[in-house]
């Protein structure tokens, strides 16, 4: 078996050439908001005329970058039905942060990846989309975190949206030479170490495997600079990976399933016991306690989000019921109702990335208001669940 080697040509240090088993892999490490990277990508593809061009994109991100009318085609009701509203919010936070950097640098995110696909198409070279589906990556990242880690991520992300730090010329120069998205992922990995495995390590091996599976003796792979080291290591060591392992959405932990069904079982059991030991009137009073404890905070949260009046009523009715099942939360019910009653306008969908930067716009943009309804009604229901459970269990204990 031939040994792997690393070859250099008259290219900048952003280009790494790895030869493995008679095949040549030309890895271009780019900055995702750099015009210089876009020009380098076109130069290498033009000179090498490879058999295949791999890009750090999945079909979903490729579609997002190439479709000008991507938001008009968003089926928000389907997103809610699939319980992917949180994933969409996290995706928006990440893309808004990157777009903000791109505006400061004078180039939009992903331009070098699109340039790679255009250059390949012009030369009639096959294109391979080698990254894992971004929705799978985000959902695997989400499921890997504890509840408090999720709150920490969302809180810091939302706060970061409204910050507009001054960037010096020196910082701009450094950022132009850096893969901003990978740096952001790296920072997230340091901020929440549990995310590093999903956001960085898994994707390195995934992209390397897809690159290895590309047809041809000469393959050009265009990836973020932060992935180059991991990809090259995987190529050199010929470490094959069963990609089906990292394409699965982790199932909910059995512990959480027990807790999810255990809480409503305890509540219903406590009410039944109160009815048995203290009478039906006492049971009715505790049922009303549960309804009010859940319904009022959820309705208040929805009202604070400026949800439609019928959405507020829906929150009051749905929260006591959804709190008794882990299958669906009050936030998804109220979000669906809000979209049905006040669907976002096309111009609001188009401006959502910019509107996220301004706090008051969260109440003015209908899509962002859906997120507020989702978050605040769910938070209210969560608070109400603990308040109601405490009151009912205290009443049960008092009758013993």
Distance CA 236, CA 244 (A): 22
* Statement: residue 353 has pLDDT above 90: no
pLDDT, residue 97, reads 54
Cβ atoms of 305 and 379 within 8 Å: the answer is: no
Q: pTM for the whole thing?
A: 0.65
Distance CA 287, CA 350 (A): 45
Give 297-322 pLDDT, tens digit per residue: 999 999 999 999 999 999 999 999 99
Cβ neighbour number for residue 151 with a 10 Å cutoff: 12
Q: Which two tokens stand for residue 273?
A: 């016991």
| Count of residues making up the chain | 400
Query: Which carries the bigger pLDDT value, residue 32 or residue 35?
Result: 35
The residue extents of the domains of the chain are 5-246, 254-398
Distance CA 327, CA 249 (A): 17
Which residues, 6 or more positions from 369, have their beta carbon under 8 angstroms from its beta carbon? Answer: 305, 306, 307, 338, 342, 362, 363
Mean pLDDT of 210-228: 90
Cβ atoms of 112 and 41 within 8 Å: the answer is: yes
162 pLDDT band (50/70/90 cuts)? very low
Mean pLDDT of 202-223: 92
**Radius of gyration for the alpha carbons in the chain, expressed in angstroms and rounded:** 25
* Statement: residue 324 has pLDDT above 60: yes
Percent of the chain with pLDDT over 90: 31
Distance CA 47, CA 49 (A): 6
Reference 29, options 190, 230, 269; nearest CA is 230
122 pLDDT band (50/70/90 cuts)? very high
Distance CA 216, CA 141 (A): 33
* Statement: residue 76 has pLDDT above 50: yes
Cβ atoms of 221 and 113 within 8 Å: the answer is: no
Give the distance between the most distant pair of CA atoms in the chain: 87
Distance CA 350, CA 367 (A): 10
């Amino acid at each position: 078996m031939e040994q792997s080697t690393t070859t250099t040509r008259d290219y900048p240090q952003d280009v790494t050439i790895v030869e493995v088993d008679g095949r040549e892999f030309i890895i271009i490490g780019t900055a995702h908001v750099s015009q210089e990277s876009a020009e380098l990508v076109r130069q290498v593809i033009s000179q090498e005329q490879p058999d295949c061009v791999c890009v750090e994109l999945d079909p979903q991100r490729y579609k997002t970058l190439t479709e000008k009318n991507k938001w008009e085609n968003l089926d928000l009701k389907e997103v809610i039905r699939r319980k992917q509203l949180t994933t969409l919010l996290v995706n928006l936070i990440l893309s808004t942060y990157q777009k903000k950097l791109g505006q400061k640098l004078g180039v939009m995110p992903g331009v070098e990846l699109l340039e790679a696909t255009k250059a390949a198409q012009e030369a009639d070279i096959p294109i391979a989309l080698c990254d894992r589906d971004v929705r799978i990556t985000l959902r695997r990242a989400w499921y890997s975190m504890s509840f408090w880690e999720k709150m920490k991520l969302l809180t810091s992300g939302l706060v970061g949206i409204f910050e507009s730090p001054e960037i010096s010329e020196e910082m701009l120069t450094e950022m132009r030479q850096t893969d901003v998205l990978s740096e952001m992922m790296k920072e997230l990995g340091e901020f929440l170490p549990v995310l590093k495995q999903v956001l960085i390590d898994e994707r390195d091996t995934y992209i390397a495997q897809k690159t290895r599976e590309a047809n041809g003796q000469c393959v050009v792979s265009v990836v973020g600079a932060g992935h180059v080291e991991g990809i090259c290591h995987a190529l050199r060591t010929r470490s094959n990976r069963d990609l089906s392992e990292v394409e699965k959405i982790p199932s909910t932990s059995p512990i959480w399933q027990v807790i999810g069904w255990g809480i409503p079982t305890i509540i219903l059991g406590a009410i039944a016991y109160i009815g048995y030991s203290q009478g039906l009137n006492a049971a009715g009073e505790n049922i009303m306690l549960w309804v009010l404890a859940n319904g009022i905070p959820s309705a208040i949260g929805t009202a604070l989000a400026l949800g439609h009046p019928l959405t507020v009523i829906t929150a009051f009715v749905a929260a006591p019921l959804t709190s008794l099942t882990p299958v669906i939360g009050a936030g998804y019910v109220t979000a669906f109702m809000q979209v049905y009653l006040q669907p976002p306008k096309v111009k609001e969908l188009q401006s959502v990335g910019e509107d996220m930067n301004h706090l008051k716009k969260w109440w003015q943009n209908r899509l962002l208001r859906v997120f507020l309804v989702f978050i605040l009604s769910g938070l209210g229901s969560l608070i109400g669940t603990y308040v109601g459970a405490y009151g009912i269990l205290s009443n049960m204990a008092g009758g013993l």
